[in-house]
Amino acid sequence: MPDSGDEKPGTPDLEAEVERVVADSQHRTLDEMRGKFSQLIYLASLRDHNTGCYSHYGLETRYSAEGVNEGLRRCHAKVFEELVALSLEEQTQELIRFFESQGEDRSRLVRAWERLRPYQILPPETCHPLARELFSKNVELILKILRETELWPLLHDPHGNSDDLA
């Protein structure tokens, strides 16, 4: 692991390393994942919820722990911002895509998410409180839609009429 003990945040060497971590994470992992919710959940899982620090064994064999922490923090913020910027319909499709990738009964996943609220730990630590609230409210609304309606087939029917969703 490269030694960066003398590097301070914002130094050119550390900044270059952080950019390499971001690019490495994007190209080797995030681009291969199915959807923004999968990416967000993955990145949130790399954060220690006691310290807020990110770690990844594989990346830390190539980069400093400080570079990995900051690079993953930036990736997490970027994916969160991209997901929150989507329309509610697109966010719904993203969550459905994640649920489908789990190989579990969708209604069971909806009930578990409503009960356990795992989405509350998904926003990055540094996100704006209003963005955090918007994200939580959107997920709650999406879960309610998915629980109370039969929109599953309509949202994935490539031949369906989008007017059916209104």
Each residue's pLDDT tens digit, 75-127: 999 999 999 999 999 999 999 999 999 999 989 999 999 999 999 999 999 99
% of the chain with per-residue pLDDT over 70: 84
Average the pLDDT over each of 55-64, 71-80, 150-159 and give the range with the smallest value: 150-159
For residue 2, give the nearest of 65, 56, 58, 53 by alpha carbon.
65
Kindly give, in sequence order, each residue whose CB lies less than 8 Å from that of residue 128, ignoring residues fewer than 6 positions away.
none
150 has pLDDT over 80: no
Average pLDDT, the chain: 89
Give the amino acid at 16: A
% of the chain with per-residue pLDDT over 90: 78
Distance separating alpha carbons of residues 118 and 157, to the nearest angstrom: 28
Quick one: 6 exposed, middle or buried, by C-beta within 10 A (0-12, 13-18, 19+)?
exposed
